């Protein structure tokens, strides 16, 4: 009852029983399974090098992301304040024109913001208005 490869039947099962036999004693002199100390140390060294390279890049990536998020938050606050300022300008003078050309960041009132001052980029970039959008000179 064996197939052409000889992988089924009583012979295969008998060979497999030797592997799973708990009474079979292992002879450490003839059993070469496992890793040597040199192989384990080599793996640890390679892992340490990978960690030494990856951790600083990951920390830098997190810092960059936090700065970008703070800048985006400041741009959103300025954009909202510009919309409110334009609405107030239109109430006073409805013929003043398109808000893309009318309102500048210099016209914003500090009291419009929670902190009491116009938000700034954490990397000291400058904000400008381009086509109705607030743009940072560093984070775009």
- What does the DSSP assignment read for 25-81? PP-TTT---S--HHHHHHHHHHHHHHHHHHHHHHHHHHHHHHHHHHHHHHHHHHHHH
At 133 the pLDDT is: 79
Q: What are phi and psi of 128, to 5 degrees?
A: -140, 170
pLDDT of residue 108: 79
| Confidence at residue 18, expressed as pLDDT on a 0 to 100 scale | 56
Q: Determine if residue 6 is left, alpha or beta; phi over 0 gives left, psi from -120 to 50 gives alpha, anything else beta.
A: left
Region 11-25: mean pLDDT is: 57
Q: Over the stretch 103-133, which tens digit does the pLDDT of each residue have?
A: 677 777 787 887 888 888 888 888 888 777 7
- Over pLDDT 70: what percentage of the chain? 71
40-74: pLDDT as tens digits: 999 999 999 999 999 988 888 888 888 888 888 88
Q: Is residue 15 exposed (0-12), middle (13-18) or buried (19+ Cβ within 10 Å)?
A: exposed
**Better pLDDT: 58 or 9:** 58
Instruction: Report the C-alpha gap between 134 and 140 in whole angstroms.
Output: 9
Contact 137, 124 (CB under 8 A): no
Give the pLDDT of residue 45.
Answer: 96
């Amino acid at each position: 009852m064996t197939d052409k490869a000889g992988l089924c039947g009583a012979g295969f099962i008998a060979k497999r029983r030797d592997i799973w036999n708990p009474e079979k004693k292992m002879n450490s002199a003839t059993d070469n399974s496992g890793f040597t100390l040199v192989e384990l140390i080599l793996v640890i060294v390679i892992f340490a090098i990978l960690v030494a390279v990856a951790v600083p890049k990951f920390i830098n990536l997190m810092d960059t992301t936090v700065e970008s998020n703070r800048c985006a938050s400041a741009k959103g606050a300025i954009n909202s304040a510009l919309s409110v300022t334009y609405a107030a300008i239109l109430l006073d003078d409805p013929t003043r024109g398109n808000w893309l050309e009318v309102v500048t960041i210099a016209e914003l009132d500090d009291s419009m913001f929670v902190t009491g001052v116009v938000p700034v980029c954490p990397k000291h970039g400058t904000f400008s208005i381009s086509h109705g959008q607030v743009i940072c000179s560093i984070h775009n």
